[in-house]
Chain A
């Protein structure tokens, strides 16, 4: 009896949240085809395919920009995860002086708005020759996404612990192999989170990419944001839909890759079913 009540409660909560998320998504799709929708009608009066034509007309350019944006953000995501693992292990599994300070610095970028960092770093990057180049943009994105990766992977590393790995070492495995065979598969779910989070932080950057990339490095977001601000709602919505669709696709690929990598269904630690 009580279980049933609990389960209804859970379902209602989930439903409310789901509605809150899906209803806006539906309005987004609806607006792609809307040209005129005046008060107080509950459905648009004038439809049009103008937004579709805009996209169709730019197919080639869009595909190119999407591809390079995805590549940039994927590189940022993977680098974030790798460096995140390294930093997390250093902080949690080793002793060295100044650990607290290091930890503070890893999360410092959380505390500073991206716009401030962008404005401050622009001149430095120009002097270092990193501006207007993809490398510069990747490094800048990395600085912003790394804290998320470090945070998430630290949680995971703490949960997984190092006992299994130590045992493997005791049994004769080399340090890398021990890590690779024991800890890594168990960390996979949290690494996947870190990769996804870093990806989206990089993919959605606008101001930073503009400042460092200088218009030379064009990402999809740079193309999309002026339309979002332009008030042309159907065009804005179709670009947004593209953005979301592409991101979901990429996440799907990440998950598939992670799944292949996990040897022994190492998601145990994170499910409770």
Chain B
């Protein structure tokens, strides 16, 4: 009897908060459909979505956002996992070094943008070093790494923040598995690298994919870095949304929400894929009990 009620009791706060979250989400969606009583907009309509999707630069922005998010997330996950692997195999997963490496997690994104500008801009330290070393004669010869239509600066900024995040996310589990199961495999004669590749990595798969998804969706929807480091055209999706949001004519709000709706749609598709992949493991875990 008690056992039957227990999970619901435990879940109560989570459910309450989820409810609030859903209300926020649904309100956002209704706003994107043009229903904002505060501004006198009462009829639901797909007009805003139509207009937003038919903008000439829309496709470019979507591709720009997707490209930045994919590149940064894939590279960050690969880099993070690689680094975790190196440390775990070398059995060095604690200590001052690890702490410093996890520092970028606490740095706000706007400060990260400052760093990137300081170092990689045409005025930055790298450019000046190149000049001092005689590699370039004029400021303009230094390649355009930020404010460029490829989003290189933005990707670098995300990498700086997300590689440590992936490390943080994955290393505890990886160390644990490599320590216990990995140890057992080594004792049976397997080489360290084989152990990592065939035992540890597959068992960490879910956590790694979780981490990937979190940073992918974040990169897709955050506006600060593309705003500060991006090109004038194309603009990333969240930047477009933000600019519509701050438009002085408050009746532009539905455009912002429609753009946000598109971002949410892409994110939801990704999360659905994730959910399908994770389904098996949640089931397994609980069936064991």
Given A21-B100, A99-B286, is A117 in contact with B14 using a C-beta cutoff of 8 Å? no
In the complex, how many angstroms separate the beta carbon of B209 from the nearest chain A beta carbon? Answer: 12
Judge whether B108 and A121 touch: CB under 8 Å.
no
Judge whether A115 and B260 touch: CB under 8 Å.
yes
B8 CB-CB contact with A under 8 Å: yes
Judge whether A90 and B11 touch: CB under 8 Å.
yes
Among A47-55, A56-64, A239-247, the stretch that binds chain B is: A239-247
B190 CB-CB contact with A under 8 Å: no
Given A112-B221, A120-B31, is A102 in contact with B17 using a C-beta cutoff of 8 Å? no
A256 CB-CB contact with B under 8 Å: no
Judge whether B125 and A27 touch: CB under 8 Å.
yes
B91 CB-CB contact with A under 8 Å: yes
Interface of A is mostly: helix
The one of B89, B118, B221 in contact with A113, judged by C-beta atoms closer than 8 angstroms, is B221
A105 CB-CB contact with B under 8 Å: yes
Judge whether B26 and A120 touch: CB under 8 Å.
yes
Q: Which residue of B lies closest to A272 (CB)?
A: B179
Residues of B within 8 A of A90 (CB): 6-8, 10-11, 14
Judge whether A159 and B173 touch: CB under 8 Å.
yes
Residues of A within 8 A of B105 (CB): 197, 200
Given A95-B286, A110-B213, A121-B24, is A115 in contact with B221 using a C-beta cutoff of 8 Å? yes
Residues of B within 8 A of A258 (CB): none
Category for how many chain A residues contact B: 35 or more
Residues of B within 8 A of A123 (CB): 27, 38
The residues in A between 34 and 85 inclusive whose CB is less than 8 angstroms from any CB of B are 39-42, 83
Judge whether B101 and A14 touch: CB under 8 Å.
yes
Given A99-B286, A120-B28, is A86 in contact with B13 using a C-beta cutoff of 8 Å? yes
A241–B268 Cα distance when bound, in Å, is 36
Q: Which residue of B lies closest to A189 (CB)?
A: B172
The residues in A between 105 and 130 inclusive whose CB is less than 8 angstroms from any CB of B are 105-113, 115-121, 123-124
Residues of A within 8 A of B90 (CB): 6-7, 10
Q: Which residue of A lies closest to B112 (CB)?
A: A24
Category for how many chain B residues contact A: 35 or more
B139 CB-CB contact with A under 8 Å: yes
Residues of B within 8 A of A41 (CB): 128
B275 CB-CB contact with A under 8 Å: yes
Q: Which residue of B lies closest to A91 (CB)?
A: B282
In the complex, how many angstroms separate the beta carbon of A141 from the nearest chain B beta carbon? Answer: 11
Residues of B within 8 A of A251 (CB): 106
Residues of A within 8 A of B188 (CB): none
Given A21-B100, A23-B119, is A112 in contact with B11 using a C-beta cutoff of 8 Å? no
Judge whether A124 and B27 touch: CB under 8 Å.
yes
A108–B267 Cα distance when bound, in Å, is 10
Judge whether B241 and A115 touch: CB under 8 Å.
yes
Q: Which residue of B lies closest to A88 (CB)?
A: B10
Residue ranges of B at the interface with A (Cβ–Cβ < 8 Å): 3-4, 6-8, 10-11, 13-15, 17-18, 20-29, 31, 38, 83, 86-94, 97, 100-101, 103-108, 110-111, 114-115, 118-119, 123, 125, 127-129, 131-132, 139, 160, 163-164, 168-169, 172-173, 175-176, 178-179, 207, 210, 213-214, 217-218, 220-223, 238, 241-242, 245, 256-257, 260, 263-264, 267-268, 270-271, 275, 278-279, 282, 285-286, 289
Residue ranges of A at the interface with B (Cβ–Cβ < 8 Å): 6-7, 9-10, 13-14, 17-18, 20-25, 27-28, 31, 39-42, 83, 86-87, 89-96, 99-100, 102-113, 115-121, 123-124, 139, 142-143, 146, 150-152, 155-156, 158-159, 162, 189-190, 193, 197, 200, 204, 221, 225, 228-229, 233, 236-237, 240, 243-244, 247-248, 251, 269-273
